[in-house]
Structure 1
Amino acid sequence: MTRPECPWTRTAESLGNSVELQHVNLRVPDQLKATAFYISALGLTRDPYLVTGIDNMWANAGVSQFHLPTGPAQRLRGTVGLVLPDREQLLHRLQTARRWLDGTMYAFEEREDHVAVTCPWGNRIRCHGPDADRFGRIVLGMPYVEFDVPPDTLDGIIRFYREIVAAPAAIENGVARVLVAPGQVLTFRETDAPQPAYDGHHIQLAFVDFGGVHARLSERGLISQEDSQHQYRFIKVVDPDNGRLLFEVEHECRSVTHPLFMRKLVNRNPAVTNTIYATGQEAMAWTMPPA
């Protein structure tokens, strides 16, 4: 019997062991300024159900979040990539936010394919418009987190995520890309520029083979914290071939049985206000409508 010819690239749908990039956690010293930046300027949505006090904020962006607990400011050594639905509306919000954020490190600049934004404490965020060819069908989300890493580390980083985390990883155009969720990647870009010391910020991933990753980390002495039945952490990214330390960023590792796994997040439409209102348009779908 002749096999039917497959018109699709089946490997393009292969995910790997990591299936969720849920949040980036950065301490902020001022919740009011954090609200002005993440909610008013970027147009994200404060989680209405969890962590609603004045000492922390969860800001929703599609299926991902920023976690923003109060404390000495932390700075991610790299850039967070966001997709936001409307560039002109974003620029209007960014301009309006100057009145609240003047005197801080807040800044923004238009580039050809994105708007480069700096938060009040120096974190870099690259805001893109929807682009199906580049980011798939999302109109609101966090498609990548990019880290600045020392020279001569990319090959070892690729080995670490392939062999320890069991995530698809490859070097493309001089940048290491690690697939950690549908349509979401960690990228690592080498730089000669001096980098600040690691200050404790973290990202959160979820693993199907939760125990397998734990075992491979444990045998190398890399588990930094045991949180619960559903969660542990590691900080050091090392070359599996020789144990050489390549980079540090805390990974909060969850199982797919974690109570918060794939929790549905509320996303608002920032174009709707009390003065520009249309019934039923308050909520925003984070993906494009059917083709």
Structure 2
Amino acid sequence: MDIDTRYCESYARQVHALRRQVFFSDFSLSQRHQTILAKIESIRQYFLTIARQAEGNESMIPIQTVSSSIGIPHFSSNYNLRPIAQILKKDEPMTGQVSYSYSALDMNSRYKSKWFESKNQASIGNFKAVGECSLKLWENKKFDPSLELSSQVSASILDLSSRNKLGNDKMNATLHLNASVGKASAGASVVVNKNEQTFEFKGVAAAFEGEAKLAFNLFGMSVTVTGSGSLLSAGADVSYSHKNREWELGTKLGFIAGLGLKVNVKY
């Protein structure tokens, strides 16, 4: 039998509202009134005890759910031009973001018990595109434009993810697993202002790609170990950055295994 703890707590409040303090000059009536108040309180405590026991049992009973969705696209956009800030020459940028994602099939499962929780997701036929822009015109009331652009496109045949936790909030171990089959992605970012010029382009394609992250948490202290790898992959990164008293040039090429070179100079 399922017990709704909300109803039990509501009944306890309603019973408690029946209590009234009344003073009688007759001793027998006063004693009778105190007996009635004690009975009302015992009924209130009865409902509260049932609610607490039900909550405790719910935490002991494993919860398992499975869900799926087919072909649902997601589109979002966000723009903030801050016209008042531009008129007042404030150091606040104009920003914009557009994103689109689509999965032909999404499947999710969840299992939760008192000491173990696992969340798993599988997505088939995935595509995602994200673009962001930030333009700041003023710095300390002076015209000093700064432009930041970034974009990323990715597609995969199959994405798998698993989030697992063993223990409680104070002492636990977590294991996060991510894997992709037939994944390709490309991205670019640009930062241009008087103190920095950064151009970065990335592209990668892999038949199989995976990442594992293992973390231990003990009373607020955490240790995390992350490993990643790919099989039958090819990729290329090119980046150039120049900041105040620092410049950096880097490149990376990979086919099955990757090699990279990066030079950084500060003066």
TM-score, length of structure 1 as denominator length: 0.22
Write 1 or 2 for the structure with the bigger share of strand. Answer: 2
Q: Which has the higher contact order (CA 8 A, sep 6+)?
A: 1
